[in-house]
Amino acid sequence: MPVAQDPRVAVYLDFDNIVMSWYDRVHGRNAYSRDRQKIAANPEDPEIAERLTSAMIDVGAVIDYATSFGTLVLTRAYADWSSPVNAIYRSQLVARAVDLVQLFPAAAYAKNGADIRLAVDTVEDMFRLPDLTHVVIVAGDSDYVPLAQRCKRLGRFVVGVGVAGSTAKSLAAACDQFDSYDALPGVAQPDQGKKDAAPTRSRRKKAAADPSADLLQRALRLESDKEGAEWQHASAVKSLIKRLDPSFNEKALGHKSFTDFVKAHPKIAEMDESGNIVLIRLISEAS
């Protein structure tokens, strides 16, 4: 396989798997199986709608995490998009340039064959895109173990993402790196409950008011998690920000340089310019 100048990443999401697993994580073991008929019958029922909303997947957190490994070459999500549980995500996914692969269940409660279609596409892409360096598999099913092993044999770095408590240990072991969806930056924990709903909405409003601040904070968290260090190189952080949002330009935001941009957010980041390399760390991490 040719040596790539920069890491190039492909992401494959078994969307049904991650949505159902997170629903169970939020509402309790086998909760989705118990609610499946009610969801199919009337997803707009107030009780069901509230349960679906409280178990929403943060698509952005998953894609941003994948972006921290390199440039996204392709991102595919596999699901029955006619299902109301999945349909509510379509606008989010399309906005992040995710290719939606339509799958149809063979029967009312049958598997939709996502594992087979996803595996076939992944192997095909590895031969079609020889410069692909990383494969990110978002799922928790042990059926993906052979796929992870094949990707590793073909020289790719395999990253797995699954919901805690719903991921097969064998899949985690088959990956080069495996992280819980629960632990990704920006993902609200199920046990926070309704008491944190108001603060969460408040933080989202603040982020919307200054999207560049949210971008800086998310990039620092992702880079810190990936490198396992408190201080990060300013150049690495800026590169990640550009991958998260290709339209980012500190000059367009009124700053002469990237360091000036960081200094404009003293509540988020701290800088160390004492050495030859400028370093940055999250204020929350420092405290």
The pLDDT tens digits for 144-162 are 999 999 999 999 999 999 9
Residues 145, 148: Cα–Cα separation, whole Å: 5
| Whether residue 156 is found in the same domain as residue 239 | no
| Whether residue 79 is found in the same domain as residue 212 | no
| Whether residue 180 is found in the same domain as residue 214 | no
| Whether residue 188 is found in the same domain as residue 203 | no
- The predicted pLDDT at position 134 comes to 97
Percent with pLDDT over 70 in the chain: 87
| Whether residue 227 is found in the same domain as residue 175 | no
- The separation between CA 137 and the C-alpha centre of its own chain, rounded to angstroms, equals 10
| Whether residue 179 is found in the same domain as residue 246 | no
What's the CATH number where 75 sits?
3.40.50.1010
- Domain that includes residue 145, residue range: 8-192
pLDDT level of residue 226 (50, 70, 90 thresholds): confident
| Whether residue 14 is found in the same domain as residue 133 | yes
Asked if residue 262 is part of any domain, the answer here is: yes
Burial of 233 (0-12, 13-18, 19+ CB in 10 A): middle
pLDDT level of residue 112 (50, 70, 90 thresholds): low
Question: Domain count of the chain?
Answer: 2
Per-residue burial over 131-168, b if 16 or more Cβ lie within 10 Å, else e, is ebbbbbbbbbbebbbebbebbeeeebbbbbbbbeebbb
Asked if residue 3 is part of any domain, the answer here is: no
pLDDT in tens, 115-140: 899 999 999 999 999 999 999 999 99
Say if CB 29 and CB 35 are below 8 A apart: no
Average pLDDT, the chain: 86
| Whether residue 141 is found in the same domain as residue 161 | yes
| End residue of a domain, out of 144, 173, 192 | 192
| End residue of a domain, out of 192, 215, 242 | 192
- The predicted pLDDT at position 200 comes to 41
| Whether residue 231 is found in the same domain as residue 187 | no
| End residue of a domain, out of 168, 192, 216 | 192
| Whether residue 175 is found in the same domain as residue 208 | no
| Whether residue 13 is found in the same domain as residue 65 | yes
Residues 110, 105: Cα–Cα separation, whole Å: 6
> What's the pTM?
0.76
Can you tell me which residue has the tokens 């944190």? 196
pLDDT level of residue 260 (50, 70, 90 thresholds): very high
- Among residues 35, 61, 62, the alpha carbon closest in space to that of 49 is found at 35
- Among residues 166, 138, 171, 128, the alpha carbon closest in space to that of 152 is found at 171
Neighbouring C-beta atoms of residue 104, cutoff 10 Å = 10
Q: Reply yes or no on whether the pLDDT at 65 is more than 60.
A: yes
- The predicted pLDDT at position 252 comes to 82
What's the rounded mean pLDDT across residues 102-117? 70
Q: Reply yes or no on whether the pLDDT at 224 is more than 80.
A: yes
Say if CB 129 and CB 7 are below 8 A apart: no
Q: Report the phi/psi class of residue 58: left, alpha or beta, with left for phi > 0 and alpha for psi in -120 to 50.
A: beta
What's the CATH number where 268 sits?
3.30.420.610
Say if CB 12 and CB 122 are below 8 A apart: yes
Asked if residue 54 is part of any domain, the answer here is: yes
Span of 14-23, 83-92, 155-164 with lowest mean pLDDT = 83-92
| Whether residue 243 is found in the same domain as residue 144 | no
Q: Reply yes or no on whether the pLDDT at 184 is more than 70.
A: yes
Retrieve residue 258's tokens. Answer: 């990237």
